[in-house]
Amino acid sequence: MMMEIHFKKSDCPIGALSVTIPGAEDKTYIWFFRNIYFYVRGMDTDVDIEAFARRIQLIAESGVVEELHSHLPRIEKIEIVSPVVNAHKEFLVRWILDADDAFDPERYCFDFRYNEQALTL
Measured between alpha carbons, how far is residue 66 from residues 56, 60, 69 in Å?
A: 20, 14, 9
Looking at the fold, whether 76 and 55 belong to one and the same domain comes out as no
Q: Count up the domains in the chain and report the number.
A: 2
How high is the pLDDT of residue 57?
A: 94
Tell me the whole-structure pTM to 2 decimals. Answer: 0.56
Q: Is residue 2 part of a domain?
A: no
Measured CA to CA, the distance from residue 34 to residue 55 in angstroms comes to 16
Q: Is residue 1 part of a domain?
A: no
Range of the domain at 103: 69-120
Looking at the fold, whether 55 and 13 belong to one and the same domain comes out as yes
Looking at the fold, whether 40 and 83 belong to one and the same domain comes out as no
Range with top average pLDDT, 6-10, 31-35, 111-115 = 31-35
Looking at the fold, whether 53 and 79 belong to one and the same domain comes out as no
Under the banding of pLDDT at 50, 70 and 90, the label for residue 60 is very high
At 41, which helix (H) or strand (E)?
strand 36-42
How high is the pLDDT of residue 104?
A: 66
Looking at the fold, whether 57 and 74 belong to one and the same domain comes out as no
